[in-house]
Chain A
Amino acid sequence: MRHHVVLRIVTNIMIPLIVIYALYIQFHGEYSPGGGFQAGIIFAAGFVIYSLIYGLDVAQEAIPPEVARFLAAFGVVIYIGFGLATILLGGQFLEYKVLLADDQAGETLGIIGIELGVGVTVAAVALTLFYAFAGREQD
């Protein structure tokens, strides 16, 4: 659909807004509704629009399926990594307040960290699913 000028221009304006909104949802989740899950989905949605307009192969040059698959697992690794870090620092699994000297700051850091893990996993999984369905030709 690359030759539709209106579609192309509108998506060119929309995609940065969608991605920035996803990042806002991701990192402002402590103050307003949202969090890693929603942010990941919105990020993936922005990317899906991009590949609808410019074609799947162009989108897969930006984020190859291998990278998406790696990131899907990597997000869970981030999450578990925060849990293991709290154990190493003498707390229980996912007991974030040992991360920093100040209890509240430690909790906040832990929450931001695992939300990042969730966001990365969800965005990568949504992209992987989209690639899997869209990349398959009808037999």
Chain B
Amino acid sequence: MAMVAIATVRIRNLFAVVMLSGIYSLLAASLFVLLDAVDVALTEAAVGAGIMIILMLGALALTTSQEKVRANRQSLAALVIVMITGGALIYGTLDMPLMGDPEAPAHTHLAPHFTQQSVEEIGIPNMVTSVLASYRGLDTLGEAVVVLTAAVGVLLVIGSGRARKRGHRRKVMERQADS
């Protein structure tokens, strides 16, 4: 995954970059499967490796497929800021509980309730669905609205994209020329 990420940053051909980001998503999905998070893996595979590639290719068709290379100005200040931020983040992970630690705060507060009683309370075996749709129903509503907002934003910026027939467009232009 790290190699794919570095390649994604370095390569200038945007078509290859889109494909690499799809590969990255697929690797991430495999990682989630290994961590037993199949719901997340399914989402990552469907969105990251599937529909996102199509949308990126659609966006590429509207621009060029080659990144413009600008004069390579490397700022020392930027390097220092990135080093400090990265260092702070790594320092922050030192306090986090080890992966799979049963005493971690995330596993002692609400998680036991979800894992042990959700089947009785909700009556469906998939806990992820119970948490998403019932215990955290309001959050999921927020997500649905976010998705809708994204569509509204795209529609406002680049239009609804009804496939226009050329003849129709010419007719419209003639009509405009007449009036």
B125 at the interface (CB under 8 A from A): yes
Inter-chain CA distance A38–B132, complex, in Å, is: 13
Inter-chain CA distance A129–B50, complex, in Å, is: 14
B153 vs chain A, min Cβ distance (A): 10
Given A41-B47, A115-B133, answer yes or no on A133-B59 (Cβ-Cβ < 8 Å): yes
Question: Using an 8 Å CB-CB cutoff, how does the interface string of B148-163 with A read, 1 for contact, 0 for none?
Answer: 1011001100111111
Inter-chain CA distance A113–B38, complex, in Å, is: 22
Question: Using an 8 Å CB-CB cutoff, how does the interface string of A25-48 with B read, 1 for contact, 0 for none?
Answer: 100011111110110011011001
| Contact B42 A125, beta carbon cutoff 8 Å | no
A94 at the interface (CB under 8 A from B): yes
Inter-chain CA distance A106–B41, complex, in Å, is: 29
Q: Is the interface of A mostly helix, strand, loop or mixed?
A: helix
Given A131-B162, A132-B159, answer yes or no on A122-B122 (Cβ-Cβ < 8 Å): no
A105 at the interface (CB under 8 A from B): yes
| Contact B154 A129, beta carbon cutoff 8 Å | yes
Known: A72-B151, A135-B160, A135-B161. 5 other contacts (CB 8 A): A30-B125, A69-B151, A94-B134, A96-B134, A115-B129
17 contacts between A and B (CB under 8 A): A41-B43, A41-B47, A45-B46, A57-B163, A69-B155, A76-B141, A76-B144, A79-B141, A94-B138, A111-B133, A117-B144, A118-B143, A124-B151, A128-B160, A133-B59, A133-B158, A135-B162
Residues of B within 8 A of A (CB): 38-39, 41-43, 46-47, 50-51, 54-55, 58-59, 61-62, 120-126, 128-130, 132-134, 137-138, 140-141, 143-145, 147-148, 150-151, 154-155, 158-165
Residues of A within 8 A of B (CB): 25, 29-35, 37-38, 41-42, 44-45, 48, 55-57, 60, 64-65, 69, 72-73, 75-76, 79-80, 83, 93-94, 96, 103-105, 107-108, 110-111, 114-115, 117-118, 121-122, 124-126, 128-138
